[in-house]
Structure 1
Amino acid sequence: MTPEKPGPASATSREDGTTGRRRRFTRLLAATAVSRFGDGLHLTALPLLTATVTPDPTAFAGVTVAQTLPWLLVSLPAGALVDRLDRGRVIAVTNGVQAALAAALAVTVLSGGIGLPVLYAVAFALGCCQTLTESAAAALVPQLVPATALATANGRLTGADIIAGQLLAVPLAGVLFGAVHALPFLVDAATFAAAGLLLTGLGAGRARHPDSEPRASVPKDIAVGVRWLAADPGCRSLALVGALINTVLTGCFATFALFALRLLDVGDAGYGLLMGAVSVGGVVAGLLTGTAWRRGSPRLLLLLSLWVPAVACLSIGLTSSPLLAAAMLALVGFGGTVWTVVTITLRQAVIPAHLQGRVMSVFRLTSAGTAPLGAVLGALLVDSSGLRTPWLVGAGALVLAPLLAGPALRAVPEEASAP
């Protein structure tokens, strides 16, 4: 897990210096906040719209499947395309496509012609665009930000994501949908159009492909990314730990609504506030992790991102106090965001510039693809031992996670002189 030497990823910085990089990153940050706001609107409003079309639980769940399926089907080809194309232009174009999709859905709703096939198709298409956008953005950051500022940049992007996509968009989507069913999708279209305009002409360019590696087909390009991740002990262990974390937290939150209503006795509004605490913790972590990286130890941050959620999960599994649960949920959000910022910063620093898209997509698929397994395991634990069990078992798994992260911890610098 040796840091990548300055090369193709720093070509932009040589052209226009620190000021140009800062302006371009600011545009990316603004576009990210605006587009994530749009994501939050349609991800919240689509299930509400589905409920007006059909009461069938299976058909209802189909929209969720359509929204998440692109991460399994499209993420690897998306990573290969991101490494072939201008990454800033990819984000701008996909935002434009999302604007058109959201606008078309709004018109369909207003005309009264909405049906399940349309909902499934739009949900899947928006998910494909989001997959491509996030892959391109993660690969673009090292082209816009010097290595010493990656942690701060990633923290700001993650914080903007949570604030815009969760704290602001989710409650507003319900209000807008209650007023006019098509309104969240009209606003969604406007946000995507604005995000696309912000990135038009960004001029980041594509990462230079080494002359020694001739262009191959997309499947062969994907295979290169898979082999690179498999051969790097540090990144490989981060992917495995990410899979464990995602399994644990998905299993815990799969039945948390029942936990909150039955064991914490908070009601529907209280459940919403508890979930909001997770987002608040994530925002705080996004704002602080960059500074902590520069002034402290990246290795310590990585350990804290595992142990803080472990203590929090244990506390949630043992408590019946809504206030303590809210505080511990904030710590879960805090630790999860620290993990996200630290690990993406480490990956950006060591993955070769021309492989960023492919390796990042393989990493994401490996670590995030365990969500369905986590949901099933969480439900099985609840059925066999009660609502507290996923949290208690999850705490134990997270305490042991550093053992799985051993290669990564050995490769992570104790000081932040070189991320």
Structure 2
Amino acid sequence: MTSEVVNKETAGAASLPWRGGFGRLFGAAVLSRTGDALRGAAMPLLAVQLTDSPLLVSLVTASFFLPWLVFGLLGGAIADRVDQRRAMWGVDALRGLLMAAFAVAVWQDVATIWLLCVVAFALTSLQTVFDNAATALLPAVVEREQLATANARLMTGQEVAMRFIGAPVVPVLLGIALAAPYAVDAVTFLLAAALVATVPVPESVRKPQPSGATIRRDIAEGLRAVWHDRVLRSICLSNGLSSVGVGALIATLVLHVTGWLGSGNAGYAAVITAYGIGSVSGGLVAARITARVGQVRVLIYGVVIEALALLGLGLVRELAAAVVALAVFGFLGMVWNVTEVTAMQQRAPEGMTGRVSAAFRTLSGGVAPAGALLGGVVAELWGLNAPALLAAGLMAACVLTLVPAARTGMN
């Protein structure tokens, strides 16, 4: 990448304002992720109080993933058809009311495991519209050269909110009342909706839908846009492949640390904290790294280094090695995510960002549960360290899917 482009990217990063549209989007994203962390930590605890069936408890988790397979592409098509800002605040307002009603059900002691499944499914179904609309809206709020910095700030803020703000206060809220985490989650949704509703955006530049256009045709156009763009196709396939590995790793990481390493709960807390610190650190420098190295090179170098980190995690039977490996994995993972989303936003055809985003999210979200199941099978057959080695192999294989993107000459 030329020094002129690097300087332009750096200048764009420096001038990205906190006041105005981006600042409100950032505040809404952090609020929502804080609420997500509260709910994500509290719901499993509530589930095990409502039933002693592992199958029923697992259904709650499955209910969070399933809507991406069922409605992910539909959510992207809807996001491209409507005013994204209105869609976002409307969805968050609806989710806030839903969570408020659920908090009342928990408070009145009438919640059941089936209600948990329904609420989880409904929240993620609405999220398919919200997330794709948010991805499509950001390029209308910041300049093109500011996208990498904007994505990095959003993702870093969300990571901090999830790991260091939301989840740690769950025990405090549960000490107040069993329904408290869900009530606070409802408030975060409503406050986020209010912030998004005030985001100033230019008049919509989306072209009117052609006569006879249908949702099915819109979805097909989005999929074709990804498939026929060599860079988007390569990144999307790499994203799906790596999601299988991440699913396998995350599903069995607690067994790897407490069992194979013999480091107990304290060791597990250490590697999770290392991952969080690595992710936040990566977010702080992601835009500058991408500006200097180039998007495709960052993606390729990133998966190679991640593969080496996971190889060390799977071969070295020391807690210190696991801490370093997860810190590196978190750092490169955040840089990879920022670069991936930025490239997708920049290359998506006009008016199709929501659908292109949906294709990426549906693939990655759809294969993650399969990766988790695969990780369990591999651990059962070949040992508790085997999923880390599997994930390392899949990360290395991502290089092959990224070769066509590198051949385009894209930086």
* TM above 0.5: yes
Q: 1:190 and 2:174 equivalent?
A: no
The answer to whether the 8 A contact 1:89-1:201 is kept is: no
Distance 1:147 1:22, change over 3 A: farther
Distance 1:225 1:391, change over 3 A: same
Q: 1:157 and 2:154 equivalent?
A: yes
User: How many positions carry a matched residue from both structures?
Assistant: 397
The answer to whether the 8 A contact 1:41-1:169 is kept is: yes
Percent identity, aligned pairs only, is: 34
Equivalent in the alignment of 2:307: 310
The answer to whether the 8 A contact 1:87-1:204 is kept is: no
Q: 1:288 and 2:278 equivalent?
A: no
Distance 2:365 2:43 in 1: 22
Distance 1:64 1:211 in 2: 39
One-letter code aligned to 2:60: V
Equivalent in the alignment of 1:327: 324
Distance 1:21 1:78 in 2: 29
Deviations 1:114-154 (A, max 9, x none): 11222111111111222222111111111111111111111
TM-score (norm 1): 0.90
Equivalent in the alignment of 2:121: 124
Q: CA deviation at 1:22?
A: 6.0
Equivalent in the alignment of 2:174: 177
Distance 1:346 1:412 in 2: 14
Distance 1:398 1:73 in 2: 27
Q: 1:102 and 2:99 equivalent?
A: yes
Equivalent in the alignment of 2:53: 56
Distance 1:300 1:364 in 2: 22
Distance 1:20 1:167 in 2: 25
Q: CA deviation at 1:113?
A: 1.0
Distance 1:43 1:211 in 2: 39
Residue number among 204, 207, 211 corresponding to 1:210 in the alignment: 207
Distance 1:395 1:360 in 2: 26
Distance 2:59 2:304 in 1: 35
Distance 1:327 1:253 in 2: 16
Q: CA deviation at 1:279?
A: 1.7
One-letter code aligned to 1:355: M
4+ residue runs of structure 1 moved beyond 4 angstroms? 18-22
Residue number among 395, 400, 408 corresponding to 2:397 in the alignment: 400
Residue number among 134, 138, 141 corresponding to 2:138 in the alignment: 141
Q: 1:39 and 2:36 equivalent?
A: yes
Distance 2:83 2:208 in 1: 18
One-letter code aligned to 1:152: T
The answer to whether the 8 A contact 2:222-2:356 is kept is: yes
Distance 1:299 1:246 in 2: 18
Deviations 1:166-222 (A, max 9, x none): 332122223322431101011111111111111113242675333684461212211
SS at match of 1:114: coil
Q: CA deviation at 1:300?
A: 2.7
- RMSD over aligned CA atoms reads 2.0
The answer to whether the 8 A contact 1:22-1:145 is kept is: no
Equivalent in the alignment of 1:255: 252
Equivalent in the alignment of 2:10: none
Residue number among 72, 75, 79 corresponding to 1:75 in the alignment: 72
The answer to whether the 8 A contact 2:17-2:23 is kept is: no
The answer to whether the 8 A contact 1:41-1:185 is kept is: yes
Q: 1:363 and 2:363 equivalent?
A: no
Distance 1:142 1:168, change over 3 A: same
Distance 1:30 1:389 in 2: 40
Q: Does 231-240 or 165-174 show the bigger shift?
A: 165-174
Distance 1:210 1:245, change over 3 A: same
SS at match of 1:387: coil
One-letter code aligned to 1:145: V
Deviations 1:378-402 (A, max 9, x none): 2222122111222223223322321
One-letter code aligned to 1:199: V
The answer to whether the 8 A contact 1:83-1:207 is kept is: no
Distance 1:39 1:363 in 2: 21
One-letter code aligned to 1:230: W
The answer to whether the 8 A contact 2:16-2:142 is kept is: no
Equivalent in the alignment of 2:375: 378
Q: Which structure 2 residue ranges, 5 or more long, are not aligned?
A: 1-14
Residue number among 236, 239, 255 corresponding to 1:239 in the alignment: 236
Q: CA deviation at 1:38?
A: 0.8
Equivalent in the alignment of 2:336: 339
